[in-house]
Structure 1
Amino acid sequence: MKHISIIVPQGHSSIPNIDGSHHIFSEANAFAAKMGMPPLFKVQLVGINEKIIQRNGAYTIVPDCLISDVVKTDIIIIPAIHSDIASAIEANFEILEWIKKQYHDGAEVASFCIGAFFLAATGLLNGKKCATHWAAAQQFRQLFPEVHVVDDKIMTHEDRIYTSGGAYSFLNLLVYLIEKHAGREMAIMISKTFMIDIDRNSQSPFIMFQGQKDHEDLVVKNLQEHIETNFEDKTPIDELAALFATGRRSLERRFKKATGNTIVEYMQRVRVEAAKRSFETSRKNISEVMFDVGYNDTKAFRDVFKKISGLTPIEYRNKYNKEAVIFA
């Protein structure tokens, strides 16, 4: 039987992450009992205080035990923590040290959504891939440059460490853990009971690209605004560099440093975001949208769109605009 420690940190945490994890692991035990099997998991809420106030007093969580009571655990669950990361680290320093010790003693560790910031503070993610909420990916890169963020992924698994993407994608990671420790049949039962898409592996269709403008390079900011305003244009990079009175190589280096994207990647993402909005709200066919956003090659448009969004243009339109007439 695997011991599950669901962390209840000090500060504002995701109650759905905490309660959802407890519910799903407990439900797996209930299914096992119906099949004449012993319990698969011992599930406990673990904290550093006997009562933990959440949401400015709206909720109080009473952990089953304190971290000092847990000598050894098998799986640690870290929920999303919505408090300021520096404050969360300071308030939960004991938990961070406990997680590191348990990991080095053989435990697996899973973080949900922006709980990845808390996990990264342990240093255990250094050199590893990590998923988090797509909207927080750039901030994560700035705070933890030694971690490889894969913001298109629903989850990652490397060296007994698991991370999941944004919001309710934690359910996909829970199903993955159930399958790993209780088998495919149990995972399918859980996925059907809770109506979780068992094999979803990308959060790309949900990403809303907004650009990374939390930097101080005014030339790059002006170029970003130019691209976003004139995304349908096909201005060569040499001309853009001349427009902003900067050498091409210098501009490309500065742009990559400031935004995390090359200029070409940024152009592609802005165009795809414009195409996504058009698919969601208009009845234009694929070719019309393609031309509107600056493409005239169907295959090139389809390939770039799928690479960035995870879906083909037709698949995306079918998913988000049910009333539109689809033209192949």
Structure 2
Amino acid sequence: MHEVAVLVMDSVVPFDFAVGVDGFNWTGRYRVRVCGPKRTVKAELFELKVPHGLELLSEVDTIVLPGHDPDLVVPERVLEALRQAAARGARIASICTGAFVFAATGLLDGLRVTTHWLGAEELQARHPEIEVDPDVLYVDNGQFLTSAGAAAGLDLCLHMIRRDHGSAVAADAARMAVMPLEREGGQAQFIVTPPATPQGAELEPVLRWMEANAARDLTLVEIAGRAGMSTRTLNRRFREQTGTTPLQWLHRARIRNAQHLLETTRQPVEVIAGKVGFGSATAFRDRFKRIAGTSPQNYRAAFQQN
């Protein structure tokens, strides 16, 4: 089982800490443990008992650095433990101002990173050897990953879950969190929002029908008829309940289905394009890159299951 350590010190941000723990724990595919240089740390509103010391960093597969006060003086033994973990190949990910701890190790030198937008300027000033991008949700450099603040940490966790176990497991974790698998805006990443079906919402039946029929050439008139609404009312309801339009939602459902086929089959891109509802491979490639931020071929290379 994949081992995860969440490293905590005084001034840890409670939300970031919880994201680092629950983001992985929801899947049942990870063993998540908490460690730190002290057995009791002080968060803003409470004290936290820490069951493991820094020795845990020498044996886990992934280390999560939640946000801390940027002015926290990080003990050298913490930084050295992180460097040693990186040297043996451990994956390290920071959430929010955890990037300040991460950057202090020197492991991010020469890399593009992100953090909470409020701390981006200060992080760049302290560490001119890294490139701080304040406009994205997260940055994946392979072994080292960084995310922006608060909910962006959960976006990052879902991204790592998908890298480790594929789209289905990540989608289940997203449902547990009651959030989309990827949010709009910021940096386009490989992950595409799964078809959203808000439980109990007025549009839930038609959303499920659209998902099941996404490969068909559905029109706005047909979707409105299925929903028992005018096209104008349908567009308004979609905006209110999904944040997008019916046709944009349909395109994302098709790309989501394409991702599954790219991950689990060796069918040619041209075949997949037709199966998920695109009239041509060219239109499919264009839409896939626009939504997923990469080409179908590159996506397959990154995520196809062995």
User: TM-score per shorter chain, which class?
Assistant: 0.5 to 0.7
Residue 82 of structure 1 is matched in structure 2 by: 69
Query: What are the ranges of 5 or more consecutive residues in structure 1 without an aligned counterpart?
Result: 30-39, 205-328
- Mark the structure with the bigger radius of gyration: 1
Following TM superposition, by how much is the alpha carbon of 1:7 offset from its aligned partner in structure 2, in angstroms?
0.4
Q: Is the 8 A contact 1:154 1:201 kept in 2?
A: no
Residue 54 of structure 2 is matched in structure 1 by: 67
Residue 26 of structure 1 is matched in structure 2 by: 25
Q: Is the 8 A contact 2:16 2:96 kept in 1?
A: no
Following TM superposition, by how much is the alpha carbon of 1:134 offset from its aligned partner in structure 2, in angstroms?
1.4
The alignment of Structure 1 onto Structure 2 pairs a total of residues equal to 187
**Structure 1 residues 115 and 201: alpha-carbon distance in aligned structure 2, compared to 1, 3 A threshold:** farther
Q: What is the letter of the counterpart of residue 49 of structure 1?
A: K
Q: What is the letter of the counterpart of residue 177 of structure 1?
A: M
Alpha-carbon RMSD:
1.7
Q: Is the 8 A contact 2:15 2:150 kept in 1?
A: no
Q: Is the 8 A contact 1:12 1:82 kept in 2?
A: yes
Query: What are the ranges of 5 or more consecutive residues in structure 2 without an aligned counterpart?
Result: 188-306
Secondary structure of the 2:73 match is helix
Following TM superposition, by how much is the alpha carbon of 1:159 offset from its aligned partner in structure 2, in angstroms?
3.6
Q: Is the 8 A contact 2:54 2:81 kept in 1?
A: yes
Following TM superposition, by how much is the alpha carbon of 1:169 offset from its aligned partner in structure 2, in angstroms?
0.9
1:207-261 Cα offsets, whole Å, 9 max, x none, are: xxxxxxxxxxxxxxxxxxxxxxxxxxxxxxxxxxxxxxxxxxxxxxxxxxxxxxx
Q: Distance in 2 between matches of 1:137 and 1:201?
A: 21
Q: Distance in 1 between matches of 2:98 and 2:36?
A: 15
Following TM superposition, by how much is the alpha carbon of 1:114 offset from its aligned partner in structure 2, in angstroms?
1.3
1:170-225 Cα offsets, whole Å, 9 max, x none, are: 01001111111121101111112212231226448xxxxxxxxxxxxxxxxxxxxx
TM-score between both structures, scaled by the size of structure 2 = 0.58
1:94-113 Cα offsets, whole Å, 9 max, x none, are: 21111110011110000011
> What is the aligned counterpart of 1:105 among 63, 85, 88?
88
**Structure 1 residues 127 and 202: alpha-carbon distance in aligned structure 2, compared to 1, 3 A threshold:** farther
1:63-98 Cα offsets, whole Å, 9 max, x none, are: 2211125532110000111251xx422xx3221111
Q: What is the letter of the counterpart of residue 73 of structure 2?
A: A
Q: Distance in 1 between matches of 2:84 and 2:77?
A: 11
Q: Is the 8 A contact 2:4 2:61 kept in 1?
A: yes
Residue 43 of structure 2 is matched in structure 1 by: 54
Residue 5 of structure 1 is matched in structure 2 by: 5
Is 1:42 the counterpart of 2:27? The answer is no
Is 1:188 the counterpart of 2:151? The answer is no
Secondary structure of the 1:102 match is helix
Secondary structure of the 2:26 match is helix
Q: Distance in 2 between matches of 1:46 and 1:186?
A: 26
Following TM superposition, by how much is the alpha carbon of 1:115 offset from its aligned partner in structure 2, in angstroms?
1.1
Residue 285 of structure 2 is matched in structure 1 by: none
Q: What is the letter of the counterpart of residue 123 of structure 2?
A: F
Q: Is the 8 A contact 1:155 1:173 kept in 2?
A: yes
For residues 1-328 of structure 1, what are the structure 2 equivalents within 5 Å? 1-9=1-9, 11-29=10-28, 40-55=29-44, 58-84=45-71, 87-89=72-74, 92-200=75-183, 202-203=185-186
Q: Distance in 1 between matches of 2:50 and 2:145?
A: 23
Q: Distance in 1 between matches of 2:97 and 2:40?
A: 23
**Structure 1 residues 174 and 144: alpha-carbon distance in aligned structure 2, compared to 1, 3 A threshold:** same
Q: Distance in 1 between matches of 2:93 and 2:149?
A: 14
**Structure 1 residues 14 and 203: alpha-carbon distance in aligned structure 2, compared to 1, 3 A threshold:** farther
**Structure 1 residues 19 and 145: alpha-carbon distance in aligned structure 2, compared to 1, 3 A threshold:** same
Secondary structure of the 2:152 match is helix
Is 68-77 or 106-115 further displaced after alignment? 68-77
